[in-house]
Amino acid sequence: MSRFAAPIAEQIWDMKYRLKDASGTAIDGTIEDSWRRVARALAEVEAKPALWEDRFYAALEGFKFLPAGRITAGAGTGRTVTLFNCFVMGTIPDNMAGIFESLKEAALTMQQGGGIGYDFSTIRPRGAEVKGVAADASGPLSFMDVWDAMCRTIMSAGSRRGAMMATMRCDHPDVEAFIEAKKDPARLRMFNLSVLITDAFMAAVKADGPWELCFGDKVYKTCQARDLWNRIMRNTYDFAEPGVIFIDRINAMNNLAYVETIAATNPCGEQPLPPYGACLLGSINLATLVSNPFAANAALDLAALDELVRTAVRMMDNVVDASRFPLPEQAVEAQAKRRIGLGVTGLADALLMLRLRYGSDAAAAQTEAWMQAIARAAYLASVDLAREKGAFPLFDAEKYLASGTMRQMDGDVRDAIRKHGIRNALLTSIAPTGTISLYAGNVSSGIEPVFAYAYSRKVLQKDGSRTEEEVVDYAVRLWRETHGDAPLPDYFVNAQTLPPLDHVWMQAAAQKWVDSSISKTINCPEDISFDDFQQVYMAAWDQGCKGCTTYRPNAVTGSVLTVSEASDKTPSEAPALVNANADGAEVVYLSEPLDRPQALDGATYKVKWPGSEHALYITINDILIAGHRRPFEVFINSKNMEHFAWTVALTRMISAVFRRGGDISFVVEELKAVFDPRGGAWMEGRYIPSILAAIGGVIEGHLIAIGFIDGEGMGLKSDPKAEAVSTTMRPGKACEFCGSFDLRMIEGCMTCGSCGQSKCG
């Protein structure tokens, strides 16, 4: 019997986490093999590896503990990869040599797939004097453009996409340009942007006082703080960026404030990190720990939670020693502080199983209690590790216990730390879990509410067609299994209907016991007023959050999923997600290309056109998606220089079409229909109207050979994208991996509901 609750879960495992050799042949035969591989790899650093391998396996079994995807995909593979998800790069020097050395470090980190954060506040503003060269500075945004181009280059070279975060202080002279940078849709597309908001700035906003923009000792401009705040809010309202990070609060609450200053976060904001800081992630699946769901005696097993947290902390601490790092400075930083980011997923489902409405006072109180239990277990487990293996090298008991987070910690935990030390400087974080939550049976993601009770998912078949399947939320599926077709109770709420301030309330409840931060998206309705939208951010500040990210669908950001109106329907009837236009025609095309792997399989074909001195050599390379091959790129080579310009143009255009996903077989029919007015030629007993038609025939033969189409003449006759799309649909962006317009903003990261792809891992 399959361990997977739905086909999407098994497909995600096969595509992202299953170990395969270079030819694509599976080495992990089952999900149990993957769990065993990870457990064995993380136990290798133990004095008794066999004992801990079994305990680690038990934690992984049944999707109870979910290491971040980089660990599941990389541990035990023997590959030169990092198991860390999050990096903040070194402080950028304010000189040309230092800036480009930092760029090189970023490229090396992104080559291994790390998501990186950078603070660009250290670069002098645009127009500032550059002494010694009689020139003015171009400012930090110009260098951000360079970083952006580097990221696109790394992607085009076939490396896994790593997201980037750029931060800038609210008192930097170029902050106004930074705030409005995303108004240009073609600029800084590889970056998430966040403004570093200080306590002094928030005080000035509330007092409607003046605010100085300065660099070094020079004040470049004085403005009204509230005007600058409104500018941030207006751009976030219209363009979903920039986010805000309450940086003074982060530093005040940091356990390591005595040895580091934080000025940036990883791309999704859950890991504020110092220069060269690195953190790994993992999540406790709370939904798997609830007994008697939906009954009066439903409860989360706190003893099981405690044991699972303790095992997870040990596993993650071992990752620090088992992982490789892109840069030596990152390895030194990780070893000196041994940061880990243990969080949760399935929170909303667990609350539903206890009959608690997400966003209610009772749900917030229960969330705070669970997060406190996790924090206690994690800190005590780390104390036990310190007794056994030693405290982290930079541990100073009195300074550590004086930090903001530790001052609120329970007395017995503080006493244990004072006596024995602690192995890991920081232990808790709530990361984006969009992909791993789908892999674990479509549990609710992180601390987010259920996004939707069910939605339609398109599954790509080898012939290019798609079949439709229903993906059901974990708690809803359990309800159906135990209650049949009975309507969902009124405590079932989701992200589409939840008031924004309820989101904030839940984020604040969880934040109290999270020593790092939380990746969370506060979904706002499109028709929310600007004043109400601003109040979401003020509420996040007032309630103690460390940052705030919102998403309001509109004509710019795109209404990426169509949700049926709840109106007078029962909870069981609404809302469901629809991924089709009014005519029922699915849109499956990409706005961004598929990522290219390092190596691709393919074939080369020779075409000798009668009358031409030199042959054409056509190479078609394929990519493997969900176990099926599809064409990815075409190269046409010939010694005949007469053909050079048009063959280069043709290969680029065809390859661009191939990389956008969907059924691309119409390309064959378009090429085969081209005729040459000078006459065609007879080849292998049939008349071919042009050399382009001959190329189309070669591509068609290849598509048949790999099983993409069933036979000759069975490709599409026209490009479906050319067909009109209903004006009632605003599809927004397409998934860069599978092409579906099935994206959702979760935990600050766009995640595809169709294939589970997320740029955040």
Is 266 noted as a catalytic residue in this protein?
Answer: yes
DSSP secondary-structure letter at 659? T
Listing DSSP states for 97-145 in one string gives: HHHHHHHHHHHHHHHTT-EEEEEGGGSPPTT-EETTTTEE---HHHHHH
Is the separation of the CB atoms in 425 and 389 below 8 Å?
Answer: no
Please, what is the end-to-end C-alpha distance for the chain in angstroms? 28
DSSP H or E run through 341: strand 341-345
Task: Considering the candidates 105, 241, 270, 633, report the single residue annotated as catalytic.
Answer: 270
Spatial distance between the Cα atoms of 691 and 647, rounded to a whole number of angstroms: 11
Residue 626 φ/ψ region, left for φ over 0, alpha for ψ in the -120 to 50 degree band, beta for the rest: left
Is 424 noted as a catalytic residue in this protein?
Answer: no
Q: Where are the alpha helices (DSSP H) in 292-448?
A: 302-322, 328-337, 347-353, 361-389, 397-401, 404-407, 411-420, 434-439
Is 270 noted as a catalytic residue in this protein?
Answer: yes
DSSP secondary-structure letter at 17? I
Q: Spell out the residues 6+ positions from residue 77 whose beta carbon is closer than 8 angstroms to its own.
A: 19, 37
The token pair at 327 is 């840069």
Residue 5 neighbours by CB distance under 10 Å: 19
Listing DSSP states for 246-268 in one string gives: EHHHHHHH-TTTTT----EE-TT
Task: Tell me what percent of the chain is helix, strand and coil, each rounded to the nearest 5.
Answer: 40, 20, 45
Task: Considering the candidates 86, 170, 268, 749, report the single residue annotated as catalytic.
Answer: 268
**Integer angstrom CA distances of residue 667 from 588, 592, 654, 670, 679:** 16, 19, 8, 5, 22
Strands (E), 474-581: 522-523, 547-548, 550-551, 562-563, 576-578
Task: Considering the candidates 192, 235, 266, 424, report the single residue annotated as catalytic.
Answer: 266
Could you tell me which of 435, 272, 265, 279 has the C-alpha nearest to residue 345?
435
The DSSP bridge partners found for residue 619 are 604, 635
C-alpha triplet 498, 501, 506: angle, nearest 5°: 85
Could you tell me which of 431, 723, 414, 708 has the C-alpha nearest to residue 580?
723
Spatial distance between the Cα atoms of 719 and 738, rounded to a whole number of angstroms: 17
Spatial distance between the Cα atoms of 332 and 484, rounded to a whole number of angstroms: 55
Active-site amino acid positions = 266, 268, 270
